A and B are shown apart, each in its own frame.
Chain A
Amino acid sequence: MKQWIAFWNIMLKDMQAYYLKPPNISWGLIFPIAWTGMFFIRSGSGLDNVLTLLPGVLAISILFGTTSLLAVTVTFEKKNRSFERLLLAPIPLELLMLAKTSGAILFGVVNAFVPIVLATFLTDLSQVVWTTMLPAIVMIAIASTFLGLFIAVSVSEVFEAQTFSNFFRFPMIFLCGLFFPISSLPVFLRPFSYLFPLTYGTDILHGAIHGQNMLPLSLNFPIIAGFCILLFYVSIKNIHRKWIV
């Protein structure tokens, strides 16, 4: 019970101190709106194509929202040593990091609903399989947040967190099948697509929104879950190795 009080308060503190701050709320709104506007309206394919673009816009909104904030906040707390407070608390490191990431996961899920709400004004979403899409959104948010954690643990400066984030994020926009199918990529690039969790999350979204997924759900969900476990495990290992010297 005591550990859950700590868990809940770490999450609340992060929401209060970082995610619910006006600049981040506006980031959480403006960023998905900008992506939505850019791809839905300016893609040249008109509003008929909203359903095929929505998975990519959703995925990119979650990816950028979660990785940006988590990587920066964790690095900031490490830099000003307030992270030591958490390391001194009598809770297991795994639970502590889950608490630390849960705020970002929620932020990512909320981010996803901005393009969904906008899409409801532009197209008919009645064919969307929500029971598949909602778990996919949560899984993409978890995987992206853990990618942010992996980045945060790998760097020591806040600016490094941003640049290192982009090292992963920008290739993912092109390689993960967000706005065009992986099959249209040059052959030599295709294997790289399967190295990113976003590929599998986006594929689930494509299936749930317009029924054109590349891999079966029974493969996509376990693979993205595997990526989440791997990224979290490696991050915890790195914290032990690099922060508790």
Chain B
Amino acid sequence: MEIQEPVILSHDKHRALIEVTELTKKFDNVTAVDKISFAVPQGELYGFLGPNGAGKTTTIGILTGLVRLDSGTIRIGGLDCTKNPKAAQHLIGVVPDESNLYPELSGFDNLCFCAALYGMPKRERQTRAHELLETFGLTEAAKRKFAGYSKGMKRKLTIAAGIIHRPPILFLDEPTTGIDVSSARQIRQLIAELHQAGTTIFLTTHYIEEAERLCERIAFIVKGQIVKTDTVANLLQPVQEKRATLISVSNSTNDLCGKLAAAFPQLEFQTVSLEQIQVESGGPISIGPLVRFIEEQGAVVTEARRIRLSLEEVFVRVTGIELDIMRKETEKGGGSL
């Protein structure tokens, strides 16, 4: 697969291509986006991570001109889009959370039509459409109607339509939600390639692993507010300095975690599920005394293994949102990593 380089807006890599200040949006009495501010420099892959209803899609809607903002300012590619959302539409590509191409047109015709919307001449848009169909492995389905595509194929063609005019800035809203594992992997690879080619990408997702794998910086968004923003490395630093062990037990009593915490005050314990306890420490964890203590309480240790703490733990600690909620959303979306 080969992704062509987008138009370079500036050779200053630190120049912010997306600048948002105090952005607010209310729907009736519900505040969907609450005074959020952030800046995305040229070439960065910036992630918006949060559960459904956190305000991710609304933010993309405002930035792309599909939703009207209540207050705040927006600059995209150096252009003030606060009062004129159309000012920067020639600089952006948008991949919405649902594939929204024309069901009655073929894959090829859909791409040509999307290119024409950006004023691309006929020969150029046909060449570009063929290129992208090949890149996304859809050449054989080029003449088939979009309505007959599988979910994964629809998603790929929707992404192709979003980049047909080589936009320097790309908004991706939940790009892998609801599609099979193989298609999701291909799409993630394509996103990584677009990023490497220099496209500035604003990605929203509720898949923590996806954000961790793809993004340079991540903002955690909960109930319309950004609660934390940092590079993936910085976000992971506190948990990576820790060691963690996952102990699987059977015949466990309800207060086993509390008893362990009282007996081993130098360690941190968390109940992951009825049969799993997570132990964390700043130093090495001696497993022998823990196993003996648990068995003295009448439970049986079936497994104990060291685990790598991931962005999930950081997300839970920062947002207070239980992982189960995010996992259920992942399952609902049909997504898998």
Is the CB of A90 closer than 8 A to any CB of chain B?
yes
- Which of A2, A17, A81, A244 contacts B118, CB < 8 Å? A2
Task: Across the interface, name the chain B residue whose C-beta is closest to A1.
Answer: B119
Q: How far is the CA of A245 from the CA of B94 in the complex (A)?
A: 18
Q: How far is the CA of A10 from the CA of B116 in the complex (A)?
A: 8
Q: A91–B100 contact, CB under 8 A?
A: no
Q: B86–A92 contact, CB under 8 A?
A: yes
Task: Across the interface, name the chain B residue whose C-beta is closest to A92.
Answer: B86
Q: A87–B113 contact, CB under 8 A?
A: no
Is the CB of B239 closer than 8 A to any CB of chain A?
no
Q: A85–B68 contact, CB under 8 A?
A: no
Q: B67–A6 contact, CB under 8 A?
A: no
Is the CB of B72 closer than 8 A to any CB of chain A?
no
User: Within the complex, what minimum Cβ distance (angstroms) separates A147 from chain B?
Assistant: 25
User: Within the complex, what minimum Cβ distance (angstroms) separates B17 from chain A?
Assistant: 16
- Which of B64, B92, B117 contacts A86, CB < 8 Å? B117
* Chain B residues positioned under 8 Å from A85 (CB to CB): 100-101, 114, 117, 161
Q: B121–A5 contact, CB under 8 A?
A: yes
Per-residue CB proximity of A146-159 to B under 8 Å, as 1/0? 00000000000000
Per-residue CB proximity of B180-224 to A under 8 Å, as 1/0? 000000000000000000000000000000000000000000000
Task: Across the interface, name the chain B residue whose C-beta is closest to A88.
Answer: B94
Task: Across the interface, name the chain B residue whose C-beta is closest to A21.
Answer: B104
Q: A244–B117 contact, CB under 8 A?
A: no
Is the CB of B120 closer than 8 A to any CB of chain A?
yes
* Chain A residues positioned under 8 Å from B65 (CB to CB): 87-88, 244
Q: B100–A81 contact, CB under 8 A?
A: yes
Given A6-B116, A92-B86, A84 and B66 contact (CB-CB distance below 8 Å): yes
Q: How far is the CA of A17 from the CA of B110 in the complex (A)?
A: 11
Q: A2–B66 contact, CB under 8 A?
A: no
B111-153: which residues lie under 8 A (CB-CB) from chain A? 113-114, 116-121
Q: B68–A88 contact, CB under 8 A?
A: no
* Chain B residues positioned under 8 Å from A5 (CB to CB): 116, 119-121
Is the CB of B103 closer than 8 A to any CB of chain A?
yes
Given A1-B119, A244-B67, A17 and B96 contact (CB-CB distance below 8 Å): no
Q: A6–B119 contact, CB under 8 A?
A: yes
Per-residue CB proximity of B1-37 to A under 8 Å, as 1/0? 0000000000000000000000000010000000000
Is the CB of A9 closer than 8 A to any CB of chain B?
yes
Task: Across the interface, name the chain A residue whose C-beta is closest to B113.
Answer: A13
Q: A90–B86 contact, CB under 8 A?
A: yes
B72-110: which residues lie under 8 A (CB-CB) from chain A? 85-86, 89-90, 92, 94, 96, 98, 100-105, 109
Given A5-B116, A5-B121, A87-B66, A80 and B86 contact (CB-CB distance below 8 Å): no
User: Within the complex, what minimum Cβ distance (angstroms) separates A66 from chain B?
Assistant: 20
Q: How far is the CA of A139 from the CA of B218 in the complex (A)?
A: 55
Q: A82–B100 contact, CB under 8 A?
A: yes
* Chain B residues positioned under 8 Å from A6 (CB to CB): 116-119
- Which of B27, B105, B116, B120 contacts A245, CB < 8 Å? B27
* Chain A residues positioned under 8 Å from B161 (CB to CB): 85
* Chain A residues positioned under 8 Å from B105 (CB to CB): 13, 16-17
Q: B118–A90 contact, CB under 8 A?
A: yes
Q: A82–B66 contact, CB under 8 A?
A: no
* Chain B residues positioned under 8 Å from A80 (CB to CB): 100, 103
* Chain B residues positioned under 8 Å from A9 (CB to CB): 113, 116-117
Is the CB of A122 closer than 8 A to any CB of chain B?
no
* Chain B residues positioned under 8 Å from A30 (CB to CB): none
Is the CB of A49 closer than 8 A to any CB of chain B?
no
* Chain A residues positioned under 8 Å from B101 (CB to CB): 82, 85
Is the CB of A215 closer than 8 A to any CB of chain B?
no
Q: How far is the CA of A3 from the CA of B322 in the complex (A)?
A: 49
Is the CB of A89 closer than 8 A to any CB of chain B?
yes
* Chain B residues positioned under 8 Å from A10 (CB to CB): 116-117
Given A13-B105, A244-B66, A3 and B119 contact (CB-CB distance below 8 Å): yes
Q: How far is the CA of A80 from the CA of B99 in the complex (A)?
A: 9
Q: How far is the CA of A171 from the CA of B102 in the complex (A)?
A: 35
A17-53: which residues lie under 8 A (CB-CB) from chain B? 17
* Chain A residues positioned under 8 Å from B113 (CB to CB): 9, 13
Task: Across the interface, name the chain B residue whose C-beta is closest to A86.
Answer: B117
* Chain B residues positioned under 8 Å from A17 (CB to CB): 102, 104-105
User: Within the complex, what minimum Cβ distance (angstroms) separates B176 from chain A?
Assistant: 19
Residue from B65, B68, B102, B119 with most neighbouring chain A CB atoms (10 Å): B119
Task: Across the interface, name the chain B residue whose C-beta is closest to A17.
Answer: B104
Task: Across the interface, name the chain A residue whose C-beta is closest to B68.
Answer: A244
Task: Across the interface, name the chain A residue whose C-beta is closest to B171.
Answer: A88
Q: A81–B102 contact, CB under 8 A?
A: no
In the complex, besides A6-B117, A244-B66, 18 extra interface pairs with C-beta distance below 8 angstroms are A1-B119, A10-B116, A10-B117, A17-B104, A80-B100, A81-B100, A82-B102, A84-B96, A84-B100, A85-B114, A85-B117, A87-B65, A88-B66, A88-B89, A89-B117, A244-B85, A245-B67, A245-B68
Sample 17 A-B pairs with CB under 8 A, ordered by A number: A2-B118, A5-B116, A5-B120, A13-B102, A16-B105, A85-B100, A85-B101, A88-B66, A88-B94, A89-B89, A90-B86, A90-B89, A90-B119, A244-B67, A244-B85, A245-B27, A245-B67
- 9 closest residue pairs by CB, A with B: A2-B119, A9-B116, A89-B117, A90-B90, A81-B100, A90-B89, A5-B119, A17-B104, A6-B117
